[in-house]
Amino acid sequence: MQYHKLGLAMIRILFIDDDPQAQKTLSTVLREHYVFVSALTAAEGLEVMEKTDPDVVLLDINLPDRSGLDLLDEMVQHPFAPPVIMLTAYGKVEFVKRAIQAGAYDYILKPYTLEHLEGTIRRAVENIALRRAYLQSMAGGVRGLSPDAPVLGKLIGESKALKELKTLIARFAPGDSPVLIQGESGTGKELAAEAIHRLSPRKEGPFEAINCGAIPETLVEAELFGSEKGAYTDATSRAGCFERADGGTIFLDEIGELPPKAQITLLRVIEFKRIHRVGGTRAIPLNIRILSATNRDLKEEVKAGRFRRDLYYRINVLFLQVPPLRHRDSDICVLCAYFLKDKRTDLRIHPRAMEKLLTHSWPGNVRELRNVIERAAVLSEGDEIQARDIQFY
């Protein structure tokens, strides 16, 4: 159908829920701004979806004839399936992950406010044209891109651990759900985040990266959310990194370093997808995807009371563990060749030097290896890096 022009008054919403009162309530509050159609069972929902071509589906988890998750699996098989927003009273992380990985656009916990519901619908609507254009360009890769996609080439190596990481990146990229990337320093967490962005429908939008641990505590909120003139000494009116990322992806590196007050503010931003600049009163809506990274074990940080549990669940909808170099030592030779080529040198590595590299524990991971090879290339004499040129600090 061609009736929708992405204006709110033209948007058709299909609501699948067997609760007559819920159907009546949403019909009453949404009909003023949307075309509203309803179904009481999974079977009826599929039939109505085929007939009406809805722009957004609101899907309850508990249906009389089958699970909403099973219905979701069937709905998203169509290459131009509408975004599906799950409505559920289950807040468990495993359920949320299953829904998002199955292809749900987002989820809303019951009881929900009308403001929250409409905000989620609005964001889904804003991404309809983007998502459909993206899917049309995918040559059939609807349920996930190939782990051999060229953009993943920055993640150097052929080990089983790295291939598994690339596969997950390719699977997570097409969605819009938050991703938490965990790994030791120097493993390549930002490369993983960049790959998700560049493989996603948001690839033409900005990729804004910020190291949360490198900002003075007094300036964290201004850097993240912007400020208005006069908000504090020397404050000027300027956008923060969230605002600059609008239409694209924001990458919050070392999110475990955020101070408690900033964690509270970030939780509300993720919940409502809008910000207030420091010292400002105007709500600024956002259309962004949030990727986070940490070298800490956030589960332990939550137990210790240093990181908010509710924020942890919000950023950890999808999870990536970037393996340390010691767990992918078969990639060391490939990485060395890549670093030497990047230095535009014809240097070779003597077998004893390579043995020295292979037996090192690499606490600094890929970053340390790159530095060691760069230093060895400078120290080497002739056309071969010797064992004496390999130095660890």
Same domain? 295 vs 346 = no
* 143 falls within a domain: no
Residue pLDDT, tens place only, 47-83: 999 888 888 999 998 899 999 989 998 888 776 678 8
Which pLDDT does position 267 carry in this prediction?
92
Same domain? 329 vs 317 = no
Same domain? 174 vs 277 = yes
* 3 falls within a domain: no
Same domain? 214 vs 259 = yes
Same domain? 289 vs 372 = no
Same domain? 232 vs 291 = yes
Residue 41's domain is classified under what CATH number?
Answer: 3.40.50.2300
* 129 falls within a domain: yes
Same domain? 315 vs 341 = no
Number of H helices and E strands in the chain, helices first, is 16, 14
Average pLDDT value for the chain: 86
Give the Cβ contact number of residue 88 at 10 Å: 21
pTM of the full structure: 0.74
* 1 falls within a domain: no
Range of the domain at 382: 325-389
The answer to whether the CB of 137 falls within 8 A of the CB of 293 is no
Residue 348's domain is classified under what CATH number?
Answer: 1.10.8.60
Q: 180: closest CA among 309, 313, 86?
A: 313
Same domain? 204 vs 244 = yes
Joined tokens for residue 12:
């058709």
Range in 124-128, 156-160, 200-204 with the lowest mean pLDDT: 124-128
User: 80, 113, 136 — which closes off a domain?
Assistant: 136
* 144 falls within a domain: no
- Tell me what the mean pLDDT of segment 26-38 comes to: 86
User: 267, 289, 321 — which closes off a domain?
Assistant: 321
* 2 falls within a domain: no
Which pLDDT does position 229 carry in this prediction?
84
Same domain? 255 vs 274 = yes
**In the chain, which ranges are continuous DSSP H helix?**
20-30, 42-52, 68-75, 93-102, 114-126, 128-136, 160-172, 189-198, 220-225, 241-244, 260-272, 298-303, 309-315, 332-342, 351-358, 365-379
**What domain count does the chain have?**
3
Same domain? 268 vs 344 = no
Write the burial class of residue 95 (CB in 10 Å: 0-12 exposed, 13-18 middle, 19+ buried). middle
The contacts of residue 180 (CB under 8 Å, 6+ apart) are: 255, 292, 293, 294, 298, 315, 316, 317, 318, 319, 320
User: 299, 321, 343 — which closes off a domain?
Assistant: 321
Same domain? 301 vs 164 = yes
Q: How far is CA 329 from CA 77, 148, 165, 355, in A?
A: 38, 21, 15, 11
Same domain? 210 vs 346 = no
